[in-house]
Chains A and B, each alone.
Chain A
Amino acid sequence: MIRYPARDDVLIIVPAYNEAGAVGGVVREIRAVVPGVPVLVIDDCSVDATAAVAREAGAHVLSVPYHLGLGGCVQAGYKLAFELGYQYVIRLDGDGQHDPRFIPDILKTLRESGCQMVIGSRYVKQDGKATSVVRGIGIRFFRLILRPILGARVYDPTSGYVGVNRQALEVFSRSFPLEYPEIEALVVLQRRAFRFQEVPCVMRPRQAGRSTITPVRSVYYIIHVLLGVLVNILKFERRLWRR
Protein backbone atom coordinates (compact mmCIF):
# COMPACT_ATOMS: atom_id res chain seq x y z
CA MET A 1 0.00 0.00 0.00
CA ILE A 2 1.43 3.37 -1.03
CA ARG A 3 0.02 5.41 1.86
CA TYR A 4 2.06 4.16 4.78
CA PRO A 5 5.72 3.88 3.79
CA ALA A 6 8.28 2.49 6.20
CA ARG A 7 11.05 4.79 7.38
CA ASP A 8 13.51 3.82 4.69
CA ASP A 9 11.05 3.45 1.87
CA VAL A 10 11.59 4.17 -1.78
CA LEU A 11 9.15 5.40 -4.37
CA ILE A 12 9.69 5.19 -8.11
CA ILE A 13 8.01 7.98 -10.04
CA VAL A 14 7.39 7.93 -13.78
CA PRO A 15 6.18 11.16 -15.42
CA ALA A 16 4.23 10.34 -18.56
CA TYR A 17 2.40 12.30 -21.23
CA ASN A 18 0.71 10.34 -24.01
CA GLU A 19 2.92 7.31 -23.36
CA ALA A 20 0.27 4.58 -23.54
CA GLY A 21 2.51 2.65 -25.93
CA ALA A 22 5.47 2.47 -23.57
CA VAL A 23 4.44 3.13 -19.98
CA GLY A 24 2.99 -0.34 -19.32
CA GLY A 25 6.27 -2.00 -20.27
CA VAL A 26 8.24 0.50 -18.18
CA VAL A 27 6.12 -0.22 -15.08
CA ARG A 28 6.38 -3.99 -15.53
CA GLU A 29 10.17 -3.75 -15.95
CA ILE A 30 10.49 -1.63 -12.81
CA ARG A 31 8.37 -4.09 -10.81
CA ALA A 32 10.51 -6.97 -12.04
CA VAL A 33 13.76 -5.21 -11.06
CA VAL A 34 12.60 -3.91 -7.66
CA PRO A 35 9.64 -6.04 -6.59
CA GLY A 36 7.57 -4.56 -3.79
CA VAL A 37 8.68 -1.00 -4.43
CA PRO A 38 5.67 1.17 -5.28
CA VAL A 39 5.60 2.76 -8.70
CA LEU A 40 3.79 6.06 -9.17
CA VAL A 41 3.00 7.13 -12.72
CA ILE A 42 2.21 10.84 -12.95
CA ASP A 43 -0.12 11.25 -15.88
CA ASP A 44 0.24 14.79 -17.23
CA CYS A 45 -3.32 14.94 -18.56
CA SER A 46 -2.66 12.56 -21.45
CA VAL A 47 -5.25 12.28 -24.19
CA ASP A 48 -4.49 8.58 -24.70
CA ALA A 49 -4.87 5.64 -22.30
CA THR A 50 -1.65 6.28 -20.35
CA ALA A 51 -3.34 6.24 -16.94
CA ALA A 52 -5.35 3.08 -17.63
CA VAL A 53 -2.34 1.23 -19.07
CA ALA A 54 -0.19 2.23 -16.09
CA ARG A 55 -2.83 1.05 -13.60
CA GLU A 56 -3.23 -2.23 -15.45
CA ALA A 57 0.54 -2.76 -15.23
CA GLY A 58 0.38 -2.36 -11.44
CA ALA A 59 1.31 1.28 -10.91
CA HIS A 60 -0.40 3.86 -8.77
CA VAL A 61 -1.46 6.81 -10.87
CA LEU A 62 -1.43 10.48 -9.97
CA SER A 63 -3.48 12.26 -12.64
CA VAL A 64 -3.05 16.01 -12.94
CA PRO A 65 -6.23 17.72 -14.20
CA TYR A 66 -4.50 19.76 -16.92
CA HIS A 67 -1.22 19.57 -18.79
CA LEU A 68 1.49 21.06 -16.57
CA GLY A 69 4.59 20.18 -18.53
CA LEU A 70 7.45 18.01 -17.30
CA GLY A 71 8.54 20.13 -14.32
CA GLY A 72 5.07 20.65 -12.88
CA CYS A 73 4.26 16.99 -13.41
CA VAL A 74 7.44 15.74 -11.69
CA GLN A 75 6.98 18.24 -8.85
CA ALA A 76 3.47 16.89 -8.24
CA GLY A 77 5.10 13.47 -7.72
CA TYR A 78 7.74 14.93 -5.42
CA LYS A 79 5.07 16.72 -3.38
CA LEU A 80 3.07 13.54 -2.92
CA ALA A 81 6.18 11.53 -2.05
CA PHE A 82 7.25 14.11 0.52
CA GLU A 83 3.77 14.28 2.00
CA LEU A 84 3.67 10.47 2.31
CA GLY A 85 7.03 10.39 4.07
CA TYR A 86 9.22 8.65 1.49
CA GLN A 87 12.97 8.85 2.07
CA TYR A 88 14.13 8.20 -1.47
CA VAL A 89 12.49 8.89 -4.81
CA ILE A 90 13.82 7.70 -8.14
CA ARG A 91 12.49 9.20 -11.34
CA LEU A 92 12.44 7.44 -14.71
CA ASP A 93 10.86 8.70 -17.90
CA GLY A 94 7.73 6.99 -19.18
CA ASP A 95 9.03 6.54 -22.73
CA GLY A 96 11.27 3.60 -21.83
CA GLN A 97 14.59 5.37 -22.45
CA HIS A 98 15.75 4.77 -18.90
CA ASP A 99 16.63 1.15 -18.25
CA PRO A 100 15.19 0.15 -14.83
CA ARG A 101 18.08 -2.32 -14.28
CA PHE A 102 20.09 0.64 -12.95
CA ILE A 103 17.62 1.52 -10.19
CA PRO A 104 19.48 -0.60 -7.58
CA ASP A 105 22.76 1.20 -8.45
CA ILE A 106 21.18 4.62 -8.04
CA LEU A 107 19.49 3.60 -4.79
CA LYS A 108 22.68 2.08 -3.37
CA THR A 109 24.65 5.23 -4.18
CA LEU A 110 21.92 7.43 -2.68
CA ARG A 111 21.98 5.44 0.55
CA GLU A 112 25.74 5.03 0.88
CA SER A 113 27.13 8.31 -0.43
CA GLY A 114 24.96 10.70 1.54
CA CYS A 115 24.50 12.75 -1.64
CA GLN A 116 21.18 14.50 -1.99
CA MET A 117 20.92 13.60 -5.68
CA VAL A 118 22.22 10.76 -7.82
CA ILE A 119 22.09 11.03 -11.60
CA GLY A 120 21.98 8.08 -13.96
CA SER A 121 24.59 9.17 -16.49
CA ARG A 122 25.20 7.84 -20.00
CA TYR A 123 28.63 9.54 -20.12
CA VAL A 124 30.40 8.35 -16.97
CA LYS A 125 31.30 5.29 -19.00
CA GLN A 126 31.50 5.63 -22.74
CA ASP A 127 29.11 2.77 -23.50
CA GLY A 128 25.90 4.39 -22.30
CA LYS A 129 25.19 6.77 -25.18
CA ALA A 130 21.85 6.82 -26.93
CA THR A 131 21.36 10.38 -28.02
CA SER A 132 21.32 12.56 -31.12
CA VAL A 133 24.33 14.56 -32.34
CA VAL A 134 22.55 17.86 -31.58
CA ARG A 135 21.74 16.80 -28.03
CA GLY A 136 25.31 15.55 -27.59
CA ILE A 137 26.60 19.01 -28.53
CA GLY A 138 24.09 20.62 -26.16
CA ILE A 139 25.21 18.36 -23.32
CA ARG A 140 28.87 19.31 -23.89
CA PHE A 141 27.91 22.99 -23.94
CA PHE A 142 26.07 22.75 -20.64
CA ARG A 143 28.90 20.75 -19.08
CA LEU A 144 31.20 23.70 -19.74
CA ILE A 145 28.68 26.23 -18.40
CA LEU A 146 27.90 24.22 -15.27
CA ARG A 147 31.46 23.32 -14.31
CA PRO A 148 32.27 26.68 -12.62
CA ILE A 149 28.74 27.13 -11.27
CA LEU A 150 28.51 23.73 -9.59
CA GLY A 151 32.19 23.55 -8.69
CA ALA A 152 32.22 19.97 -9.93
CA ARG A 153 32.13 18.16 -13.24
CA VAL A 154 28.78 16.82 -14.36
CA TYR A 155 28.87 14.42 -17.29
CA ASP A 156 25.18 14.15 -18.11
CA PRO A 157 23.37 17.29 -16.92
CA THR A 158 20.26 16.68 -19.06
CA SER A 159 19.59 13.19 -17.71
CA GLY A 160 16.12 12.73 -16.28
CA TYR A 161 17.11 9.43 -14.65
CA VAL A 162 17.51 10.85 -11.16
CA GLY A 163 17.30 9.71 -7.56
CA VAL A 164 16.85 12.12 -4.66
CA ASN A 165 16.85 11.73 -0.91
CA ARG A 166 14.40 13.35 1.49
CA GLN A 167 16.42 16.56 1.85
CA ALA A 168 16.29 17.21 -1.89
CA LEU A 169 12.70 16.02 -1.93
CA GLU A 170 11.77 18.71 0.57
CA VAL A 171 13.46 21.39 -1.55
CA PHE A 172 11.94 20.17 -4.82
CA SER A 173 8.47 19.81 -3.36
CA ARG A 174 8.59 23.56 -2.67
CA SER A 175 10.68 24.82 -5.58
CA PHE A 176 11.20 22.98 -8.84
CA PRO A 177 11.84 24.33 -12.33
CA LEU A 178 8.78 23.93 -14.49
CA GLU A 179 10.19 23.56 -17.99
CA TYR A 180 13.29 21.50 -18.86
CA PRO A 181 13.99 21.01 -15.14
CA GLU A 182 17.07 18.77 -15.10
CA ILE A 183 19.84 21.36 -15.43
CA GLU A 184 18.12 24.03 -13.34
CA ALA A 185 17.47 21.46 -10.61
CA LEU A 186 21.23 20.96 -10.27
CA VAL A 187 21.68 24.70 -9.71
CA VAL A 188 18.79 24.76 -7.22
CA LEU A 189 20.59 22.07 -5.20
CA GLN A 190 23.96 23.78 -5.52
CA ARG A 191 22.47 26.98 -4.03
CA ARG A 192 21.74 24.94 -0.90
CA ALA A 193 25.21 23.39 -0.83
CA PHE A 194 23.77 19.96 -1.60
CA ARG A 195 25.87 17.32 -3.33
CA PHE A 196 25.22 15.11 -6.32
CA GLN A 197 26.91 12.08 -7.79
CA GLU A 198 26.62 10.29 -11.12
CA VAL A 199 26.39 6.56 -11.68
CA PRO A 200 26.85 4.95 -15.08
CA CYS A 201 23.77 3.75 -16.87
CA VAL A 202 22.65 2.94 -20.38
CA MET A 203 20.00 4.95 -22.17
CA ARG A 204 17.84 3.20 -24.73
CA PRO A 205 15.94 4.58 -27.71
CA ARG A 206 12.38 5.57 -26.77
CA GLN A 207 10.06 2.55 -27.02
CA ALA A 208 7.04 4.38 -28.45
CA GLY A 209 5.78 7.83 -29.36
CA ARG A 210 7.77 10.82 -30.58
CA SER A 211 10.14 13.20 -28.82
CA THR A 212 8.82 16.74 -28.39
CA ILE A 213 12.31 18.19 -28.96
CA THR A 214 12.55 19.71 -32.46
CA PRO A 215 15.47 21.80 -33.84
CA VAL A 216 13.58 25.05 -33.08
CA ARG A 217 12.75 23.82 -29.59
CA SER A 218 16.42 22.92 -29.07
CA VAL A 219 17.38 26.58 -29.53
CA TYR A 220 14.53 27.65 -27.23
CA TYR A 221 15.70 24.98 -24.75
CA ILE A 222 19.25 26.37 -24.64
CA ILE A 223 18.09 29.98 -24.15
CA HIS A 224 15.47 28.98 -21.58
CA VAL A 225 17.85 26.85 -19.55
CA LEU A 226 20.63 29.45 -19.63
CA LEU A 227 18.19 32.07 -18.37
CA GLY A 228 16.86 29.64 -15.75
CA VAL A 229 20.37 28.90 -14.51
CA LEU A 230 21.12 32.62 -14.25
CA VAL A 231 17.87 33.32 -12.42
CA ASN A 232 18.51 30.51 -9.96
CA ILE A 233 21.97 31.88 -9.24
CA LEU A 234 20.61 35.36 -8.62
CA LYS A 235 17.48 34.45 -6.65
CA PHE A 236 17.53 36.21 -3.31
CA GLU A 237 15.35 33.58 -1.68
CA ARG A 238 17.95 30.94 -2.45
CA ARG A 239 20.74 32.86 -0.77
CA LEU A 240 18.64 33.35 2.34
CA TRP A 241 17.93 29.62 2.49
CA ARG A 242 21.61 28.77 2.41
CA ARG A 243 22.52 30.77 5.53
Chain B
Amino acid sequence: MQGFLNIVSILSVVLFISVMHSLRRAHIRVEHSVSWLAAAVALFILSTAPGALSAAASWTGLEDGPLTLVFLAFVVFLIVLYRFSRVISDLKDANIALTQKVAILEFHLRTWHEEQASTQNR
Protein backbone atom coordinates (compact mmCIF):
# COMPACT_ATOMS: atom_id res chain seq x y z
CA MET B 1 0.00 0.00 0.00
CA GLN B 2 2.79 2.41 0.86
CA GLY B 3 4.35 1.91 -2.59
CA PHE B 4 1.06 2.84 -4.26
CA LEU B 5 0.71 5.95 -2.09
CA ASN B 6 4.28 6.96 -2.98
CA ILE B 7 3.54 6.64 -6.68
CA VAL B 8 0.43 8.80 -6.31
CA SER B 9 2.44 11.39 -4.35
CA ILE B 10 5.08 11.53 -7.07
CA LEU B 11 2.43 11.74 -9.80
CA SER B 12 0.65 14.58 -8.01
CA VAL B 13 3.95 16.48 -7.69
CA VAL B 14 4.67 15.86 -11.40
CA LEU B 15 1.18 17.07 -12.27
CA PHE B 16 1.63 20.21 -10.15
CA ILE B 17 5.04 21.01 -11.66
CA SER B 18 3.80 20.33 -15.21
CA VAL B 19 0.84 22.69 -14.76
CA MET B 20 3.05 25.40 -13.24
CA HIS B 21 5.53 24.96 -16.10
CA SER B 22 2.71 25.26 -18.67
CA LEU B 23 1.42 28.34 -16.87
CA ARG B 24 4.86 29.95 -16.93
CA ARG B 25 5.16 29.32 -20.65
CA ALA B 26 1.58 30.50 -21.23
CA HIS B 27 0.53 27.11 -22.65
CA ILE B 28 -2.43 26.99 -20.28
CA ARG B 29 -4.55 29.86 -19.03
CA VAL B 30 -4.72 30.59 -15.29
CA GLU B 31 -8.48 29.94 -15.06
CA HIS B 32 -8.05 26.50 -16.65
CA SER B 33 -5.06 25.58 -14.49
CA VAL B 34 -6.92 25.97 -11.20
CA SER B 35 -8.80 22.66 -11.58
CA TRP B 36 -5.60 20.71 -12.27
CA LEU B 37 -3.66 22.41 -9.46
CA ALA B 38 -6.49 21.70 -7.01
CA ALA B 39 -6.56 18.06 -8.15
CA ALA B 40 -2.77 17.74 -7.72
CA VAL B 41 -2.86 19.28 -4.22
CA ALA B 42 -5.80 17.08 -3.15
CA LEU B 43 -4.06 13.93 -4.39
CA PHE B 44 -0.81 14.92 -2.66
CA ILE B 45 -2.53 15.55 0.68
CA LEU B 46 -4.46 12.28 0.54
CA SER B 47 -1.42 10.23 -0.41
CA THR B 48 0.95 11.76 2.16
CA ALA B 49 -1.34 12.29 5.17
CA PRO B 50 -2.59 8.91 6.48
CA GLY B 51 -5.13 10.66 8.72
CA ALA B 52 -6.72 12.45 5.76
CA LEU B 53 -6.92 9.24 3.73
CA SER B 54 -8.47 7.33 6.66
CA ALA B 55 -11.02 10.08 7.17
CA ALA B 56 -11.84 10.04 3.43
CA ALA B 57 -12.10 6.23 3.49
CA SER B 58 -14.54 6.22 6.37
CA TRP B 59 -16.47 9.12 4.81
CA THR B 60 -16.92 7.29 1.50
CA GLY B 61 -17.60 3.99 3.24
CA LEU B 62 -14.96 2.20 1.17
CA GLU B 63 -12.66 1.65 4.14
CA ASP B 64 -9.74 0.50 1.97
CA GLY B 65 -7.29 3.44 1.69
CA PRO B 66 -5.83 2.90 -1.82
CA LEU B 67 -9.28 2.10 -3.23
CA THR B 68 -10.60 5.34 -1.74
CA LEU B 69 -7.70 7.24 -3.28
CA VAL B 70 -8.38 5.74 -6.74
CA PHE B 71 -12.07 6.50 -6.36
CA LEU B 72 -11.49 10.11 -5.31
CA ALA B 73 -8.93 10.62 -8.08
CA PHE B 74 -11.47 9.24 -10.56
CA VAL B 75 -14.16 11.61 -9.26
CA VAL B 76 -11.81 14.62 -9.34
CA PHE B 77 -10.68 13.90 -12.91
CA LEU B 78 -14.26 13.27 -13.99
CA ILE B 79 -15.23 16.70 -12.66
CA VAL B 80 -12.25 18.33 -14.38
CA LEU B 81 -13.02 16.57 -17.68
CA TYR B 82 -16.69 17.58 -17.48
CA ARG B 83 -15.68 21.16 -16.80
CA PHE B 84 -13.41 21.15 -19.84
CA SER B 85 -16.14 19.62 -22.00
CA ARG B 86 -18.27 22.62 -21.12
CA VAL B 87 -15.42 24.99 -21.89
CA ILE B 88 -14.83 23.29 -25.26
CA SER B 89 -18.55 23.47 -26.09
CA ASP B 90 -18.64 27.18 -25.27
CA LEU B 91 -15.53 27.76 -27.36
CA LYS B 92 -17.01 25.83 -30.28
CA ASP B 93 -20.20 27.91 -30.15
CA ALA B 94 -18.15 31.10 -30.00
CA ASN B 95 -15.95 29.88 -32.83
CA ILE B 96 -18.93 29.11 -35.07
CA ALA B 97 -20.53 32.50 -34.36
CA LEU B 98 -17.23 34.21 -35.08
CA THR B 99 -16.72 32.26 -38.31
CA GLN B 100 -20.21 33.19 -39.49
CA LYS B 101 -19.56 36.83 -38.61
CA VAL B 102 -16.28 36.84 -40.54
CA ALA B 103 -17.99 35.25 -43.56
CA ILE B 104 -20.77 37.87 -43.47
CA LEU B 105 -18.30 40.75 -43.11
CA GLU B 106 -16.25 39.41 -46.02
CA PHE B 107 -19.44 39.18 -48.04
CA HIS B 108 -20.29 42.83 -47.32
CA LEU B 109 -16.74 43.87 -48.14
CA ARG B 110 -16.77 42.01 -51.42
CA THR B 111 -20.17 43.47 -52.34
CA TRP B 112 -18.92 46.96 -51.47
CA HIS B 113 -15.80 46.47 -53.66
CA GLU B 114 -17.96 45.26 -56.54
CA GLU B 115 -20.23 48.31 -56.16
CA GLN B 116 -17.22 50.61 -56.13
CA ALA B 117 -15.80 48.95 -59.22
CA SER B 118 -19.09 49.18 -61.11
CA THR B 119 -19.49 52.87 -60.10
CA GLN B 120 -16.01 53.68 -61.40
CA ASN B 121 -16.64 51.86 -64.68
CA ARG B 122 -19.74 53.95 -65.40
Which A residues have a C-beta under 8 Å from some C-beta of B? Answer: 1-3, 60-66, 68, 72, 75-76, 79-80, 83, 178
Which chain A positions have C-beta within 8 A of B115?
A: 1, 3
* 16 other A-B residue contacts (CB within 8 Å) besides A66-B99, A83-B104: A60-B107, A60-B111, A62-B107, A63-B107, A64-B99, A64-B100, A64-B102, A64-B103, A65-B102, A65-B103, A65-B106, A68-B100, A72-B100, A79-B100, A80-B104, A80-B107
Contact A3 B99 (CB under 8 A): no
Interface string of B96-122 (1 = CB under 8 A from A): 100110111011100100010000000
Q: A2-B111, A3-B111 are in contact. Are A65 and B104 (CB under 8 A)?
A: no
CB A51 to nearest CB in B, in angstroms, measures 11
Tell me if B111 and A62 are in contact (CB < 8 A): no
Q: Offer 14 A-B interface pairs, CB within 8 angstroms, sorted by A.
A: A60-B107, A61-B107, A62-B103, A62-B104, A62-B107, A63-B106, A65-B103, A66-B99, A68-B96, A68-B100, A75-B100, A76-B99, A76-B100, A80-B107
With a CB–CB cut-off of 8 A, which chain A residues contact B111? 2-3, 60
Please tell me the size bucket of the interface on B: 10 to 19
A72 adjacent to B99 (CB under 8 Å): yes
Give Cα distance in the complex from A62 to B96, angstroms.
15
Complex contacts, A75 vs chain B, CB 8 Å: 100
Distance of B101 from chain A, by nearest CB (Å): 8
Inter-chain contacts of B103 with A (CB < 8 A): 62-65, 76
Identity of the chain A residue whose Cβ is nearest the Cβ of B102 in the assembled complex:
A65
Total contacts A-B at CB 8 Å: 40
Q: Which 10 A-B pairs have the closest CB atoms?
A: A76-B100, A64-B103, A72-B96, A62-B107, A80-B104, A76-B103, A62-B103, A65-B102, A64-B99, A65-B99
Query: In the complex, how many angstroms separate the beta carbon of B49 from the nearest chain A beta carbon?
Result: 43
Q: Closest residue to B96 on the A side, CB-wise?
A: A72
CB A75 to nearest CB in B, in angstroms, measures 7
Q: Which of A61, A65, A75, A178 has the most CB of B within 10 A?
A: A65
Q: In the assembled complex, which residues on chain B have CB atoms less than 8 Å from the CB atom of A65? A: 99, 102-103, 106
The reply to whether B106 and A76 contact each other, CB–CB distance below 8 Å, is no
Q: Tell me if B104 and A68 are in contact (CB < 8 A).
A: no
Tell me the B60-119 residues at the A interface (CB within 8 Å): 96, 99-100, 102-104, 106-108, 111, 115
B107 to chain A: which residues have CB within 8 Å?
Answer: 60-63, 80
CB neighbours of B100 from chain A (8 A) = 64, 68, 72, 75-76, 79
Alpha-carbon separation in the docked complex, A65 to B104 (Å): 10
Q: How distant is the Cα of A164 from the Cα of B99 in the complex, in angstroms?
A: 23
